[in-house]
Amino acid sequence: MNNTRKVILLIGSPRGVYSTSSVLGNYILKKLEEQNFKTEVLHIHSQLKSQSKREQLLDKIENVDLILLAFPLYVDTLPAPVIRTFELIAENISEKQQERTQKLIAIVNCGFPEASHNRYALATCEQFALETGMQWIGGLSLGMGGAISGKSLDKLGGMVTNVKKSLDLVSESIIKDEKISEKAIEYMAKPLLPSKWLYTFMGSISWRIQALKNKAYSKLNDTPFI
Ligand SMILES: Cc1cc2nc3c(=O)[nH]c(=O)nc-3n(C[C@H](O)[C@H](O)[C@H](O)COP(=O)(O)O)c2cc1C
C-alpha cells in the first residue's frame, strides 16, 4: 500500500531508549511502518540543546501529519523540556500564522500504581492541541510504568497483555484515521501487576540495588532539605 502519512514520535524522557516512553511509542511506530507510514523518532531533551536542533525540531513538526508524544509524569505534570517544546511550537505557530493540520496523541506513564495520576498531564496536552489548532486524537495513561523501563513488550509476557491490546487498537485507529477508542484508553489504564503491594515491593528492591550500585545505600534515609 502506498502511504504518504508522516508520523513523528517525540520522546519526552531523559532516559531515551531505556525509558517506558520509548518502548510504548516505538511499539506503535513499528505497526505503522508495516503499513508504510513514514516515521521518525526525536528525543526532546537532546533536541533542545542548541538553536539549530530546536529549529530542526520545529521544522520536522511542521511537516508531519501526526505527532505521537510519549513522556513520563514528573511531579504530577509534564517534564520541563516537554513544556518548553509546547511553548516553542506555540510561538512558532503564532509567528507563522499558518493553519494547523497536525494531529496529536499523547502517552503518559507514571511511577505510582494508579494511572489516574496522569489525568492533568493529559488534560494539558489536550489544551495545548486546542490552543495551537492541532487535532486532539486522544491520550493514553499508564501506571506502574517503572515495570517496563526500556524492556521490549514482547519479552514482558502476560504483564503487558493489556498494554499491547491498547497499543494495537491505537495503531488501528491511526491507520483508519480515527480517534483513539475508549477501549484502548481502558486497556492502558489497567494495572500491570495484580497487587500494588507487589509493585511497590519490587520497586523498593530495585531502588536499593540502584543505591548500592551508586554507593548511596547509607544515604537512603537522608533528609537534606529539612
Ligand atoms: C523527577 C521525577 C519526578 C517524578 N514524579 C512523579 C509523579 O509525580 N508521579 C508519579 O507517579 N511518578 C513520578 N515519577 C516517576 C516516573 O513517572 C516513572 O518512573 C516513569 O515510569 C518514568 O518513565 P520513563 O521511563 O518513560 O522516563 C517521577 C520521576 C522523576 C525522575
In a domain, 224, yes or no: yes
Residue type at 118 in one-letter notation: N
- Looking at per-residue pLDDT, the higher value among 92 and 175 belongs to 175
Q: What pLDDT does residue 108 have?
A: 98
Collect contacts of 20-23 with beta carbons under 8 A, ≥24 apart: 20/72, 20/109, 20/142, 20/145, 20/146, 20/148, 20/149, 20/150, 21/70, 21/71, 21/72, 21/107, 21/109, 22/70, 22/150, 23/148, 23/150, 23/151, 23/152, 23/153
If asked whether residues 117 and 30 sit together in one domain, one would say: yes
Q: What is the DSSP letter of 193?
A: S
If asked whether residues 50 and 145 sit together in one domain, one would say: yes
If asked whether residues 153 and 210 sit together in one domain, one would say: no
Other Cβ atoms closer than 10 A to 93: 19
If asked whether residues 103 and 204 sit together in one domain, one would say: no
**Distance in angstroms (rounded) separating the CA atoms of residues 147 and 92:** 37
Cα–ligand 1 centroid distance for 75 (angstroms): 7
Give the predicted TM-score (pTM) of the model: 0.93
Instruction: State phi, psi for 84 to the nearest 5 degrees.
Output: -60, -40
Handedness of CA 188, 121, 70, 96 (dihedral sign): positive
Cβ of 151 below 6 Å from ligand 1? no
Cα–ligand 1 centroid distance for 134 (angstroms): 27
Cβ of 110 below 6 Å from ligand 1? yes
CATH of the domain at 17: 3.40.50.360
> How many independent structural domains does the chain possess?
2
If asked whether residues 12 and 92 sit together in one domain, one would say: yes
If asked whether residues 138 and 214 sit together in one domain, one would say: no
pLDDT at 226 exceeding the cut of 80: no
Q: Are 134 and 103 within 8 A, CB to CB?
A: yes
Range of the domain at 200: 195-226
Cβ of 145 below 6 Å from ligand 1? yes
If asked whether residues 181 and 204 sit together in one domain, one would say: no
Nearest CA to ligand 1 atom 15: 111
Q: What is the DSSP letter of 49?
A: S
Helix (H) or strand (E) holding 31: helix 20-34
Cα–ligand 1 centroid distance for 27 (angstroms): 20
Nearest CA to ligand 1 atom 25: 19
If asked whether residues 12 and 99 sit together in one domain, one would say: yes
If asked whether residues 27 and 75 sit together in one domain, one would say: yes
Q: What is the pLDDT of residues 164-223, one digit of tens each?
A: 999 999 999 999 999 999 999 999 999 999 889 999 998 899 999 999 999 999 999 999
Q: What is the pLDDT of residues 106-157, one digit of tens each?
A: 999 999 999 999 999 999 999 999 999 999 999 999 999 999 999 999 999 9
Q: What are the grid coordinates assigned to 165, written together?
A: 491490546
The pLDDT-based confidence of 224 (bands split at 50, 70, 90) is: confident
Nearest CA to ligand 1 atom 17: 110
Nearest CA to ligand 1 atom 8: 75
Cβ of 89 below 6 Å from ligand 1? no
**Distance in angstroms (rounded) separating the CA atoms of residues 217 and 209:** 8
If asked whether residues 145 and 63 sit together in one domain, one would say: yes
Cβ of 26 below 6 Å from ligand 1? no
Nearest CA to ligand 1 atom 23: 72
Cβ of 20 below 6 Å from ligand 1? yes
Strand ranges, E, within 125-216: 135-142
- On the CB side of 150, CA atoms within 13 Å amount to 7
In a domain, 31, yes or no: yes
**Distance in angstroms (rounded) separating the CA atoms of residues 111 and 33:** 29
If asked whether residues 136 and 37 sit together in one domain, one would say: yes
In a domain, 1, yes or no: no
Cα of first residue to Cα of last residue in the chain, in angstroms, is: 61
In a domain, 61, yes or no: yes
In a domain, 13, yes or no: yes
Q: What is the pLDDT of residues 3-40, one digit of tens each?
A: 789 999 999 999 999 999 999 999 999 999 999 999 99
Cβ of 92 below 6 Å from ligand 1? no
If asked whether residues 68 and 11 sit together in one domain, one would say: yes
